[in-house]
Amino acid sequence: MTDVNSNHETGGEDSSRRDFLYIATVGAVGVGGVFAFWPFIDQMNPAADTLALSTTEINVGDLEEGAEITVKFRERPHFVRRRTAEEVAASAEVAVNSLPDGDARNANLAAGSPATDENRSALSAVIDDGVEVDETLRASLLVSGANCTHLGCVPTEGAGDYGAWFCPCHGSHYDTSGRIRRGPAPENLPIPPMTFISATTLRLG
Amino acid sequence: MSGPSTYEPKTGFTRWLDKRLPIARLGWDSFVDFPTPRNLNYWWTFGGILAVCLMIQILTGIVLAMHYVPHIDYSCASVERIDRDVNFGWLLRNSHANGASMFFLAVYLHMLRGLYYGSYKAPRELLWILGVVIYLLMMAAAFLGYVLPWGQMSFWGAMVITNLFGALPVVGTPVTEWLWGGFSVGNATLNRFFSLHYLIPFLIAGVVGLHIWALHVPGNNNPTGLTVKTGADTLPFHPYYTVKDGFAIVVFLIIFAFFVFYWPDALGHADNYVEADALVTPAHIVPEWYLLPFYAILRAVPDKLGGVILMFGAIGVLFILPWLDTSRVRSMRYRPMGRWFFLFFVIACLGLGWVGAELPDNKVPVLGVLGLDFLWMGRILTLYYFGYFLVVLPLLGLVEKPAERPASIERSVLGKDTFGAAAPVAALAE
Amino acid sequence: MKIIQRLLVAAVGVLALAVPTAWAAGEYYKPNKHVWSWEGPFGTYDRGELQRGFLVYQQVCSACHGMEQLHLRNLGEQGGPFYLAEYPNANDNPIVRAIAAEYIVEDGPDEFGDMFERPGRPSDRFPYPYANQAQGRAANGGAYPPDFSVIVKARKQGPEYIRSLLLGYDYEPPDDLEVRPGNYYNPYFPGGLLAMAPQLQDDLIEYPDGAPATREQMAHDVVTFLAWASEPHMEARKRMGLMVMIYLLALAGLLYAAYRQVWSNVKH
């Protein structure tokens, strides 16, 4: 090697200007690198066509009392259950403060609404202008996400301690309004945004 | 040339690591304190630029593969979906597609640098050959990648190139059907091309490792072509060449960004936005610009097998180049006649590129009045291309009288008036 | 019988593409130059042109030419003709919802396995005029009207070519060119003969913004719309390009200064 490195010690003011130049250059490369990296991360987020995945419409008029169907909405399964009057009554009796999760988890209501049966049922659904929907039908309907809030399995219908859903994976028990009652799941099954667009048609999303 | 390692681990951890896996020492010796000739000019920055190109292609390619669908029915639509719906998809695809062109632009300048300054000559023959292997792999990757969007040019490009193998005697048809996985270019072909397109960049990265290894044994060549003799001839790689390469890389990225953001389709063909149609060939099919010279050589021969042999021979000749050049002097700087032949060689390569883009029967502008069409222009230039390697370089070394060279690299940079009496000795030492 | 018919159709198709090479290359006209608002490094699409262009596409072109890669929501996305800042999600955009609702879209299968029809939604694709290519061919005398999703990028000098073609029907065919029924002479089309009848006439449609619907204006507007359809992110691309260029130039300056500094005491 040559003697070229020896000159580095000369001049205090000169060397501080030099250091500033080097730090600014390395800093600019670093900042640019971070910005350049973002597209590589963001491309894995849901794409515009996925985000635009639309709505699902369900005909709830044909559902008999006690019947349940599973529909797909935004790639996920959802339970649609028309509960019997006894089931609704039993669910309404439960004190909210005794529940593991007291939050309604309902996209149609403000966050933090209490997990009453009323707040969980389709009574919370928006109703389009000019549409009239039977109130008992609305009160009896429960529409919720069908993936257990623990680790995403689909609970089995009609099983468990509360006669509604029991998750076979890790033993979470849900009641007839989809609320977690026992087991490792942390939250109630989520209620999607929903709108009655006719007396018997419910639109999710 | 690389002397004893100057790496000194400073912390407890680096000392611990150095005893078990001296990777920090390797990095230090290769890219920090690596003795590098002090007179390298900007033509020497393309190595670093090419490393950046390879990285950009691999990174953008991996993320594009997350969205691309290798199926003849969905391929076009998935590419359009990348452009339209995937977050920053248009940016990633523009970068990948233009990145291929930028990669070739850089590799051609890198190769011409090597040709001009005699970087292929002893003791760097293997370094050169590994470089030609990388270039071949690049062409394969570029060709395979161009098929993936499944446009008209993709399809007919694949058709023409795979049919080249049909020229092989006896095994021609079985080999092409094996390549296709069918009776023509089809879904099976597209699938395997995608698989191989994903594989090849990693092969390239592997050979690049060998290329750098082979570079670091004899060290860099330099514009004088003189062998490094003393420490005064060199500078440590860092910071001298990291900052110089860094500057060159950013200037290169400005050109790159210009294409990506302001002229993204300039280097492609409009026809490739038309979905592949096995029933209709576009009126004028041409390969991407970086393959045009070879296309011209292929068409220069009226015989199918002959054309294929000549085209592959155009790359094959590069493998034996180190033994074709008989000159004692590496750098064209000191080869008064060689420089002219080299200049004509560059012109011939550009000319072949032009010929490759034109229809063979069309008349050449200006020269057309003499009756010269592109077919014959291609033949003349092909002759010169091979003549340069097979006639000029072997014979010129025997007859040419090299110009006087400086005594050392150090002397050469300190001024032209310092030619020492040692010059003839230095020449012998080469 | 059917096979013969298909062969004939195929032959017409091949002929249509063979004609340009046979018909002495270079005898058709080069596209006319034209000034677009979206040219150059800072050019953007004019919203009025885009909206009028969409109207021309919807009322004139879309009868024969589909746009397979576009969704109705694209109309209301950033950079699109009907983008409104207060509706960042195009699904909520009332104009786009109204446009979508005008279309009848086939959906399904429902719970009985039947397909059913419903009003369109922003997330639907642009309705396609044909069920498949063969149908499109059969409906147009063997010439398949090309898809318009990327038409501007899929033709050389795309914008100028399409504009010239739309306005290029007023020429007398050369004597040696026989114009058969179902074909029209247009010197901007390779070969000079195409199966598309002249489409644009003055006041063919009424522009809601009161702009005079001359042939030139309609051609200009629809090409602008098609250019947007081919590359809906062009404005975002140029915007980001400007920032990237500024950054790279600044970084090049810094690196050059650092390079000069590092090498300042070395002769080389």
- Tens of pLDDT along A97-107? 889 998 999 99
Closest CA of chain C from A37, distance in Å:
13
pLDDT digits (tens, 9 = 90+) for B183-242: 999 999 999 999 999 999 999 999 999 999 999 999 999 999 999 998 889 999 999 999
- Is residue B199 in a domain? yes
3-state secondary structure of A191: strand
Q: Percent of chain A scored above 70 by pLDDT? A: 93
Q: What CATH number is given to the structural domain containing A82? A: 2.102.10.10
Q: What CATH number is given to the structural domain containing B129? A: 1.20.810.10
Domain carrying residue A20 = 1-45
Q: Which two tokens stand for residue C39?
A: 């040219």
- In this model, does residue C130 exceed pLDDT 50? yes
Q: Which residues numbered 86-125 in B keep a CB inside 8 Å of some CB on A?
A: 86-89, 91-92
CB of C148 within 8 A of CB of C226?
Answer: yes
Closest CA of chain C from A8, distance in Å:
9
Note whether C77 contacts A48, CB cutoff 8 Å.
yes
Same domain, A41 and A59: no
In this complex, which of C241, C248, C268 lies closest to B250 when CB atoms are compared?
Answer: C248
Same domain, A145 and A171: yes
3-state secondary structure of C131: coil
Note whether C268 contacts B253, CB cutoff 8 Å.
no
Domain C25-70+125-232 carries which CATH code?
A: 1.10.760.10
Chain B residues inside the 8 Å CB shell of A1: 35, 231, 234-236
Task: State the pLDDT at residue B169.
Answer: 86
Same domain, A107 and A25: no
pLDDT digits (tens, 9 = 90+) for B315-355: 999 999 999 999 999 999 999 999 999 999 999 999 999 99
Task: State the pLDDT at residue B422.
Answer: 42
Residue of B52, B58, B88 to mutate, interface with A, max A Cβ within 10 Å: B88
Task: State the pLDDT at residue B368.
Answer: 76
Contacts of B209 (CB under 8 A, 6+ apart): none
What's the pLDDT band for C203 if we cut at 50, 70, 90?
confident
Same domain, A56 and A135: yes
Please report which helix (H) or strand (E) contains residue A70, including its range.
Answer: strand A68-73
Chain B residues inside the 8 Å CB shell of A41: none
Domain carrying residue B187 = 35-287+320-335+402-419
As a whole number, mean pLDDT of residues A99-116 equals 90
Task: State the pLDDT at residue C5.
Answer: 55
- In this model, does residue C24 exceed pLDDT 50? no
Same domain, A39 and A59: no
pLDDT digits (tens, 9 = 90+) for A24-79: 999 999 999 999 999 999 999 988 888 887 678 888 888 888 888 898 888 889 99
Chain A / chain B CB contacts < 8 angstroms: 47
C125 CB within 8 Å of a chain B CB: no
pLDDT digits (tens, 9 = 90+) for C169-190: 988 888 888 888 888 999 999 8
Lowest mean pLDDT among A51-55, A168-172, B385-389, C106-110: A51-55
Greatest Cα pair distance in chain A: 94
Residue B361: Cβ-neighbour burial (10 angstroms; 0-12, 13-18, 19+): exposed
Same domain, A25 and A58: no
User: Annotated active-site positions of A, please?
Assistant: 170
3-state secondary structure of C87: coil
Shortest CA distance from B279: residue in chain C:
C14
CB of B352 within 8 A of CB of B385?
Answer: yes
Mean pLDDT taken over chain C? 86
Chain B residues inside the 8 Å CB shell of A44: 63, 66
Residues of chain B with pLDDT under 50: 1, 417-430
- In this model, does residue C49 exceed pLDDT 50? yes
Task: State the pLDDT at residue A205.
Answer: 80
Closest CA of chain A from C255, distance in Å:
6
In this complex, which of C77, C123, C265 lies closest to A7 when CB atoms are compared?
Answer: C265
Residue of A2, A5, A25 to mutate, interface with C, max C Cβ within 10 Å: A25
Same domain, A41 and A55: no
Chain B residues inside the 8 Å CB shell of C238: 261-262
CB of C178 within 8 A of CB of C193?
Answer: no
Q: Is the ipTM of this complex over 0.95?
A: no
CB of B185 within 8 A of CB of B171?
Answer: no
- Residue among B32, B27, B30 at smallest CA distance from B14: B27
Note whether C245 contacts B254, CB cutoff 8 Å.
yes
Task: State the pLDDT at residue A11.
Answer: 54
Q: Percent of chain C scored above 90 by pLDDT? A: 48
Task: State the pLDDT at residue C180.
Answer: 85
In this complex, which of C150, C237, C258 lies closest to B90 when CB atoms are compared?
Answer: C237
pLDDT digits (tens, 9 = 90+) for A132-157: 888 888 999 999 999 999 999 999 98
CB of A72 within 8 A of CB of A154?
Answer: no
What's the pLDDT band for C7 if we cut at 50, 70, 90?
low
Closest CA of chain B from A39, distance in Å:
6
Note whether A49 contacts B85, CB cutoff 8 Å.
yes
Shortest CA distance from A62: residue in chain C:
C111
Note whether B85 contacts A4, CB cutoff 8 Å.
no
Shortest CA distance from A69: residue in chain C:
C111
Torsions phi, psi for A175 (to 5 deg): -90, -175
Chain A residues inside the 8 Å CB shell of B91: 39
As a whole number, mean pLDDT of residues C30-54 equals 92
- In this model, does residue C17 exceed pLDDT 50? no
Chains with 3 or more CB pairs under 8 A to chain C: A, B
Same domain, A78 and A172: yes
Same domain, A96 and A174: yes
Q: Percent of chain A scored above 90 by pLDDT? A: 48
Task: State the pLDDT at residue C4.
Answer: 53
Contacts of A39 (CB under 8 A, 6+ apart): B87, B88, B91, B92
In this complex, which of A25, A35, A48 lies closest to C258 when CB atoms are compared?
Answer: A25
Note whether C262 contacts B243, CB cutoff 8 Å.
yes
Contacts of B222 (CB under 8 A, 6+ apart): B37, B39, B40, B44, B117, B228, B409
Same domain, A99 and A58: yes
Same domain, A58 and A38: no
Chain C residues inside the 8 Å CB shell of B280: 13-14, 17
Shortest CA distance from C74: residue in chain B:
B84
Same domain, A85 and A15: no
Shortest CA distance from C190: residue in chain B:
B283
Note whether A2 contacts B235, CB cutoff 8 Å.
yes
